[in-house]
Structure 1
Amino acid sequence: MSGLCGGRVAVVTGAGRGLGRAHALAFAAEGAKVVVNDLGAGPDGAGRSADPAREVVAEIRAAGGEAITHTADIATADGAASLVAAALDTYGRLDTLVSNAGFLRDRMLVNLGEDDWDAVIRVHLRGHFLPLRYAAAHWRAETKAGRTPAARVVHTSSGAGLMGSVGQGNYAAAKAGILGLTLVAAAELDRYGIQVNAVAPAARTRMTETTFADTMAAPGEPGAFDAMAPANVSPLVVWLGSAACAGVTGRVFEADGGRITVMDGWRRGPTADKGARWTPAEAGEAAGDLLAAAEPPEPVYGAF
């Protein structure tokens, strides 16, 4: 490895399994000291175990790296504050925050209960906001003390947040919210040396067993490229979490297999300006003309 993150301290949430585990291992392989956060919950958020985080830390240490466990709930203020404190108390610094923790409770909208809505919004959206708030407060204090950091934040969105996904109204709303949070954070925090970007990954994890059911099988040929391996996403995340990506902030990337895509997001398309108030009939006619001139939207995942 190149040692791209040598001397840096990276925090990765949801790092006990899947994408988070792959990210933690990749950061450690590039020289970072890693705080491995995982609550050890099931795919639906139920239960709790320290074993997943401990196993990843043991794997990093066995390979000669440095890592510690953190098993508090980062969707609480105390848990998020202790996450930042764990990095500072153990390693004396914090350079990179990768927010990845999450789970699913999929339902069609007419069957989606309030508890399932709140739980998914909480772990994904609140679980991104609170670690960001405490990490950013630390980095702002460093800047005000004359020690402007090369701080990096990588958020985890999803194609569901970019395009929607049938049966995942709660998850899609949370992941779209993460994109909005990313854009605001990038604009507000750049003055403190903090760059904030997001990735929308596609990979084989516990959360995608249903979504990618037709492509879940690992490659049959020894040495064949496994396009759904979580580790395929990690190189981009590590680069975004390193000092090497200076100047890149407020951007969203899709990453899956060997593909990386810069997402353009909402951009103004065809526009009509009357210079005065429209009547409803006029507005409808204008909207119809604009839609005819616009690119058709990307389809919602699972639409029929």
Structure 2
Amino acid sequence: MSEIRFDGRVAIVTGAGVGLGRSHALGLAARGAKVVVNDLGVSRDGTGSTSAASEAVVAEIKAMGGEAIAHGCDVSDEDGVNHMIAQTMDAWGRIDICVNNAGILMDKTFAKMEMSAFRKVVDVHLIGSANVAHACWPIMREQQYGRVVFTASSSGLYGNFGQANYGAAKAAMMGLMNVLHMEGARDNIRVNTLAPTAVTRMTEELFPPEAAEMLAPETISPGLLYLVSEDAPSQVIMGAGGGSFAQTRVYETQGITLTGVENTPEEVAAKFDQITDPTDQQEMADAFSQTKKYALSAAKARGLKLDW
């Protein structure tokens, strides 16, 4: 297999001052990409601001002979994002890769969480990712080329105590990816999601010290580099951690169909084992696939035939 390279490509990586973002930015630069290192330089909970981290990564890239610029906008600030995009276009005239990695944590149980903290985390992770992708979108359409990655988390895909805000924002990445995959296909824009597990500044207290090297960000970035490569897939949720890579998929069971007087909550309860039986479960290609499945099942239960 030929080496994956990014010569001539321009990449924006948000949250690239530390941790996963830094690893992604360095990996892209090492393989030829020009990189915008975006980082507001805040603490884990989104407070404070400094350009030191992003400037340090830019210096690392330049030291290896690469090209990079720093930008310190808050991704949840649309005006700031637009300024970053304009600066990138002024510098290099194109944007090929958009890696949405920026994030914060404001963990508390839902009962104790202020809604302001819920909104803030959603603003940075979800709205911030949408802001950056939206600003890059017309450029990628014009180029007839683009690679976009959103960063999800097992907290969103599977749940994690005390992270209602973070989990909700991270689960939303799947929905955003699914739609943009469809809308970008005709313009050669491929959209994927990375769900990483790494020991970073945001997660270091959750892991024993010996896990730090095993679950380092650098063990994840190879997956990210593939997801933004020339031959990348699209609409893939890639789980990654410690050099392990897997695909997360959403399946729907065959289920049952209730009609007439049988369509009651009591019947749903009585047949719940059938509803949840995984035999012959399948992936849905899109929202309409589910609609079609239900319509055909309803017609069959009524002895009707739909020409579909």
TM-score by length of 1: 0.87
Residue 288 of structure 2 is matched in structure 1 by none
Whichever of the two has the greater Rg, that structure is 2
Residue 89 of structure 2 is matched in structure 1 by 88
Residue 166 of structure 1 is matched in structure 2 by 161
272-281 vs 229-238, which deviates more?
A: 272-281
Residue 291 of structure 2 is matched in structure 1 by none
CA distance in 2 between counterparts of 1:250 and 1:2 reads: 23
List alignment gaps of at least 5 residues for structure 1: 220-225, 296-304
Residue 231 of structure 1 is matched in structure 2 by 218
- DSSP 3-state at the match of 1:175: helix
List alignment gaps of at least 5 residues for structure 2: 280-308
Residue 217 of structure 1 is matched in structure 2 by 210
Contact 1:41–1:49 (CA under 8 A) maintained in structure 2 = yes
Q: Cα gap change, 1:294/1:218 in structure 2, threshold over 3 Å: closer, same or farther?
A: closer
Structure 1: which amino acid aligns with 2:172? G
Contact 2:156–2:170 (CA under 8 A) maintained in structure 1 = yes
Residue 296 of structure 2 is matched in structure 1 by none
Q: How far 1:192 moved relative to its partner? A: 1.7
Contact 1:196–1:250 (CA under 8 A) maintained in structure 2 = yes
Contact 1:3–1:29 (CA under 8 A) maintained in structure 2 = no
Residue 247 of structure 2 is matched in structure 1 by 262
Aligned pairs for 1:254-293 within 5 A? 254-265=239-250, 267-276=251-260, 278-291=263-276, 293=277
Q: Cα gap change, 1:107/1:256 in structure 2, threshold over 3 Å: closer, same or farther?
A: same
What is the identity percentage for the equivalent residue pairs of Structure 1 and Structure 2? 39
Structure 2: which amino acid aligns with 1:281? E
1:243 is aligned to 2:245: no
Residue 200 of structure 2 is matched in structure 1 by 205
Q: How far 1:189 moved relative to its partner? A: 1.5
Pairing partner for 1:156 from 119, 127, 151: 151
- DSSP 3-state at the match of 1:59: helix
Two-structure CA RMSD over aligned residues (Å): 1.7
Contact 1:83–1:131 (CA under 8 A) maintained in structure 2 = no
Contact 1:74–1:83 (CA under 8 A) maintained in structure 2 = no
Deviation sequence 1:43-75 (CA, Å, 0-9, x none): 110000010100000011011111000111121
- DSSP 3-state at the match of 1:260: strand
Q: How far 1:3 moved relative to its partner? A: 5.9
Structure 2: which amino acid aligns with 1:177? A
Contact 1:3–1:31 (CA under 8 A) maintained in structure 2 = no
- DSSP 3-state at the match of 1:74: coil
Q: Using CA pairs under 8 Å that are at least 6 residues apart, name the structure with larger relative contact order, 1 or 2.
A: 1
- DSSP 3-state at the match of 1:111: coil
Contact 2:194–2:237 (CA under 8 A) maintained in structure 1 = yes
TM-score by length of 2: 0.86
CA distance in 2 between counterparts of 1:6 and 1:227 reads: 30
Deviation sequence 1:202-245 (CA, Å, 0-9, x none): 011111123x323x4357xxxxxx32110111111112112132
- DSSP 3-state at the match of 1:112: coil
CA distance in 1 between counterparts of 2:271 and 2:260 reads: 13
Contact 1:182–1:196 (CA under 8 A) maintained in structure 2 = yes
Contact 2:13–2:36 (CA under 8 A) maintained in structure 1 = yes
Count of aligned positions:
277
List structure 1 runs of 4+ shifted beyond 6 angstroms.
none
Contact 1:8–1:96 (CA under 8 A) maintained in structure 2 = yes
Deviation sequence 1:246-274 (CA, Å, 0-9, x none): xx111100000111101112x11140112
CA distance in 2 between counterparts of 1:122 and 1:187 reads: 24
Contact 1:13–1:101 (CA under 8 A) maintained in structure 2 = yes
CA distance in 1 between counterparts of 2:105 and 2:253 reads: 34
CA distance in 1 between counterparts of 2:172 and 2:95 reads: 25
- DSSP 3-state at the match of 1:68: strand
Q: How far 1:153 moved relative to its partner? A: 0.3
Aligned pairs for 1:1-304 within 5 A? 2=3, 4-140=5-141, 142=142, 147-149=143-145, 151-210=146-205, 212-214=206-208, 216-217=209-210, 226-245=213-232, 248-265=233-250, 267-276=251-260, 278-291=263-276, 293-294=277-278
